[in-house]
């Protein structure tokens, strides 16, 4: 959680598996006005503006009660659509954006596993911490449960489908490349894969997948990855992000 926010402990579940329950999110969003997973926009803005242009049509998946779409709008990226599975999140986001005058941002209740959009209609699809929800009960991160694999592939297939040729999928996550590459690199996808990191103690990952730009390099999968050292500050160990990621990585 970003340091500028006030944590409300009563919304933090006892176990990470609650994040897979749509009722959990509805109840949470009924009580909570704003929570920014991982980091707020200022921490990765320098990366976003390299890839998202003001005239890009952008889909944000799993907006929750984040301020990401407002920040993008303030940066001149105004063709924005946000979705979330939680009707409470969607209603509150609509009210918030309307009251602040961001009337052009569309907000829809939708499932990222079955996106209600035509093929090739967005320049950019972005998610922050939303794909991570699918991993909370994944078991061994090196060998995830079949149900996890099928949900993640359903999501990625739909993201790939709705991207225009040359379009970009941006995934902001704590999921490390050795756990994400097997999904991103599935043979069905035509996107190239690049990633950067941001953050101070723990490094978050910023993946950039560009449709139609896949490398023909057969060694791509086996290339060595140099990861930043993982060190957690005390406050990071105490906050909710840690509960969220504890099932995933060998921290």
Ligand X SMILES: C[S@@+](CC[C@H](N)C(=O)[O-])C[C@H]1O[C@@H](n2cnc3c(N)ncnc32)[C@H](O)[C@@H]1O
Residues near ligand X, by CB under 6 A: 25, 36-37, 62-64, 66, 83-86, 89, 111-113, 128-130, 133
Altogether, the residues listed in the chain come to a count of: 251
CB of 142 to ligand X, least distance (A): 23
CB of 47 to ligand X, least distance (A): 15
State whether residue 125 is helix, strand or coil. strand
CA distance 158 to 172: 18
Q: CA distances (Å), 155 to each of 73, 112, 114, 159, in order?
A: 25, 6, 7, 6
DSSP assignment, residue 19?
G
State whether residue 24 is helix, strand or coil. helix
**Closer to ligand X by Cβ: residue 165 or 251:** 251
**Closer to ligand X by Cβ: residue 44 or 229:** 44
CB of 107 to ligand X, least distance (A): 12
CB of 212 to ligand X, least distance (A): 25
**Closer to ligand X by Cβ: residue 79 or 84:** 84
DSSP assignment, residue 230?
P
**Closer to ligand X by Cβ: residue 80 or 89:** 89
């Amino acid at each position: 959680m970003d340091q500028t926010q006030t944590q409300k402990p009563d919304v933090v579940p006892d176990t990470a598996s609650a994040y897979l329950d749509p009722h959990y999110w509805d109840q949470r969003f009924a009580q909570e006005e704003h929570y920014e997973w991982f980091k707020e926009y200022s921490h990765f803005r320098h990366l976003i503006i390299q890839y998202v242009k003001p005239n890009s049509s952008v889909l944000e998946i799993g907006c929750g009660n984040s301020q990401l779409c407002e920040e993008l709008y303030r940066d001149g990226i105004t063709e924005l659509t946000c979705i979330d599975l939680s009707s409470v999140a969607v209603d509150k986001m609509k009210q918030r954006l309307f009251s602040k005058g961001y009337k052009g941002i569309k907000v829809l209740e939708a499932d990222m596993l079955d996106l209600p959009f035509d093929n090739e209609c967005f320049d950019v699809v972005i998610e922050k911490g939303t794909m991570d929800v699918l991993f909370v009960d994944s078991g061994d991160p090196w060998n995830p449960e079949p149900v996890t694999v099928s949900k993640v592939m359903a999501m990625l297939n739909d993201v790939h489908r709705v991207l225009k040729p040359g379009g970009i999928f941006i995934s902001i996550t704590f999921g490390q490349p050795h756990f994400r590459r097997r999904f991103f690199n599935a043979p069905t996808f035509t996107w190239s894969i690049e990633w950067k990191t941001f953050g101070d103690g723990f490094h978050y990952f910023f993946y950039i997948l560009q449709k139609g730009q896949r490398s023909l390099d057969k060694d791509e999968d086996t290339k060595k990855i140099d990861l930043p050292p993982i060190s957690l500050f005390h406050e990071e160990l105490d906050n909710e992000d840690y509960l969220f990621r504890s099932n995933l990585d060998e921290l």
